[in-house]
Chains A and B, each alone.
Chain A
Amino acid sequence: MTLDVARIRKDFPILDRQVRDGRALAYLDSANTSQKPRQVIDAMNDFYERHNANIHRASHQLGEEATAAYEGARIKAARFIGAGDEAEVVFTKNISEGINLVAYSLGNARGSLRINPGDEIVITEMEHHSNIVPWQLLCERTGATLRWFGVTDDGQLDLSQLESLITDRTRLVALAHQSNVLGTINPVREIADAAHAVGALVLVDAAQSVPHMPVDVHELGADFLGATAHKMCGPTGIGMLWGRRELLEEMPPFLGGGEMIESVWMDHSTFAPPPHKFEAGTMPIAQAAGLDAAIDYLAETGLGQIRAHERDLTGYALGALGTIPGLRLLGPADPGSRGAAISFTVREVHPHDLSQVLDELGVAVRAGHHCAWPLHRRFGIQASTRASFYLYNTQAEVDTLVEGIQQAQRFFGGT
C-alpha cells in the first residue's frame, strides 16, 4: 500500500505556508529538522494546558500525570527502536549530548570501561561533527588514538580497512547508520560483529535512520544508539540515548544535579539507577509528550511505507537530477542502498547561491558542509547543496527543485 501523501500533508499545517513572494513552500530540508504534524503540536499543547507539572517530585495529581506522560514516552521510545527494557533509554536534549554522555562517562570510568592511553576509538570519514568532536575531546583527555574508516568514491565506507582498523586496541567504534550527507546506509551489523569480536563497543548515530525506516537496536548489534525527536516529526529539545543496561549501570554519571542522585552527603553522593542516573535537572517534559505523539504518528503511518515512499521519491529525484549537466551527485546512485538525503554540487554555482535561488522559488534546502567538514574535504569540495525528503514530500516538489537548479545555472553560468 502506498502512502496517501495528500492526506499526510493535511496533518502538517506549515506545509500550507507561502514563503518569499507568495511561493508555495517545498520543504526539502527534513534531514536538518522535520516538520511537525498537528497531532504532535496538539499533544504538547494538551500537556501544557492540562497536565503541566514537574516529574518524579511533585506530590499532587498533576505531578503524577506529568510523570506518567514522561515515563510513558520512554516506554514508547524503547519499543520503537526494538529495546525491550525502557530503563535502557536515557532522554537527552539531542544526539550530541548523548554521544558526549558516552564519551565523558567512558573517560571517567574506573573499571574495565575506562579509556586509557594507547586505546583506539574508530569513527568514519562520513560522520557528522557530533560523532567526531566528542571523540577527539575524549582522545585528548585520555591519550587514546582516533582512527578513521575512509569513504570510497561512490560514497561507501571502505570496508577493506576493516581488519586493519578494528584490532585488539579498539575500544569503541562509532558510526552513522545513515550518512546525513551521502544518504549511504552503512553495514552497521557487519562492523559491529567485527568490533564485538575484539571486545570493542559500538555506538550508532541513528539520527537519519530512526525517522525513516524500521530500526532495531539488537538487529544492528549496537551497544549504544542515539536518535533525536526533531528529525522524526517530534519537537526540538529531546533526544534519546539507548544503551545496554549493564553498560549504563557500570558507567559513571555525566552531568550531576537534581533527580540523578540516590543520596547526597556533604562529602559524597550516590546515584540513581539508569536511566535516571543520566538525567540531571528538570528534563524536557512537554517535549517527551510530543515525542510520544510523534512515535504514534510514525507507527500508525508505518515505517515500512515511509521507507518505500522515500525510496521511490529518491529514485525519481536521482533520475531527474542526473539529467542536469554539471551536477555532481555525492553518494550512492542506487536508491535501495541509501536514504532520502541527496547532496550534490553544480558547476559554476556555489551552494549558497544555489540555495538562495531555490529559496526565492519556495524550495527549502541546506547549503554548506552539513556539519560534515572532513567528508567534504574527502571529496575535494568546500560545500554542497542537500535536498532531503520525508513522508510528506512529492514528485512535484522534486520538479520544482530541478527547475530551480536550472534557473540558477542560467543566472550564474553566464561567464
Chain B
Amino acid sequence: MQLESLYQEVILDHYRHPHHKGLREPFDAEVHHVNPLCGDEITLRVTLKDSGGAGPVVADVSYDALGCSISQASASVMSELIIGRTVPEAMAVQAEFLGLMQSKGQQQPDEEILGDAVAFAGVAKYPARIKCALLGWMAWKDATAQAAKEQTDD
C-alpha cells in the first residue's frame, strides 16, 4: 500500500488544519483558479510590501479553496513557505516546486528550498494529481505577477 507515501502526515495535517486560510484585506491582487478536471477551485489574494533595496516582499497570502486533500494542503504549505519572502525568492521556490511536480518522480526534492513542500514529492508519480498540488501555486504566481505589475504601473 503506497497511500502513506503519497499522503504524508504533513499533508494530512495541513489538510485538516490549513494555515492562512480565509480571505483577508487589504490585498493588491485577487485571482480565481479552477482545475477543470475535477472542479477544485481557489480564490487567492496577495499583498506585496516594498522593502526598499531587496524589492517587493510577499506580505500576505490568503485564500479560500474547495478541493481534495492534496490541493488544500498544498495551498496551506505554500502560504507558510512564501509569506515574508521577497518576490524573486518566492518565485524561485515556486519554480522549484513546479519542477518537482513535473519530474515524473525522478527529481530529488531539495528540502533547503522547499521545506515542508518536499512532502508532495510522491504526488509527482500520479499524473492525475499534479494539477491538484499545483492549483494554489499557480494561483499565487498569477496573483503576484498582477500585483507586481500594478506596483510598477503606479
Contacts and interface: CB of A to CB of B under 8 A. Distances in A.
Interface of A: 20-21, 350-353, 356-357, 360, 367-369, 373, 376, 382-383, 411-412, 415
B56 interface: no
A350 B2 contact: no
16 contacts: A21-B2, A350-B67, A350-B69, A351-B68, A352-B40, A352-B129, A353-B7, A356-B6, A356-B126, A369-B38, A369-B39, A376-B39, A382-B40, A411-B3, A412-B12, A412-B69
Contacts of B2: 20-21, 360
Given A352-B40, A352-B70, A356-B129, 11 more contacts: A21-B1, A350-B68, A350-B69, A351-B38, A353-B70, A356-B126, A360-B2, A367-B38, A368-B39, A376-B39, A382-B66
Contact of A382 (B3, B12, B67, B69): B67
Interface string B2-13: 110011000010
Contacts of B6: 356
B3 A352 contact: no
Contact of B3 (A360, A369, A383): A360
A411 B16 CA distance: 12
A133 B79 CA distance: 36
B114 to A, nearest CB: 22
A105 to B, nearest CB: 28
A352 B68 contact: yes
Interface in B1-35: 1-3, 6-7, 12, 16
B132 interface: yes
Interface string B56-98: 0000000000111110000000000000000000000000000
Interface string B130-153: 001000000000000000000000
Contacts of A376: 39
Interface residues of B, number: 20
A275 to B, nearest CB: 33
- Greatest chain B CB density within 10 A among A21, A350, A351 is at A350
A415 B39 CA distance: 24
Contacts of B3: 356-357, 360, 411
Contact of B38 (A20, A368, A411, A415): A368
B40 A411 contact: no
Given A352-B129, A356-B126, A383 B39 contact: yes
A47 to B, nearest CB: 32
A360 B1 CA distance: 7
A415 B126 contact: no
B54 interface: no
B18 to A, nearest CB: 12
Contacts of B38: 351-352, 367-369, 383
B132 A352 contact: yes
B68 A368 contact: no
- Greatest chain B CB density within 10 A among A21, A352, A368 is at A352
Nearest to B16: A415
A368 B131 CA distance: 13
A369 B132 CA distance: 15
Nearest to A412: B69
A353 B41 CA distance: 16
A360 B4 CA distance: 11
- Greatest chain A CB density within 10 A among B3, B12, B39 is at B39
B37 A368 contact: yes
A351 B70 CA distance: 12
A29 to B, nearest CB: 13
Nearest to B17: A415
A141 to B, nearest CB: 23
A357 B12 CA distance: 14
B4 to A, nearest CB: 9
A382 B37 CA distance: 12
B39 A373 contact: yes
Contact of B69 (A353, A369, A373, A383): A353
A415 B69 CA distance: 13
Nearest to A355: B128
A220 B126 CA distance: 43
A362 to B, nearest CB: 12
- Greatest chain B CB density within 10 A among A353, A373, A376, A412 is at A353
Contacts of A360: 1-3
B143 to A, nearest CB: 22
A360 B6 CA distance: 11
A411 B20 CA distance: 25
A348 to B, nearest CB: 10
Nearest to B38: A368
A413 to B, nearest CB: 10
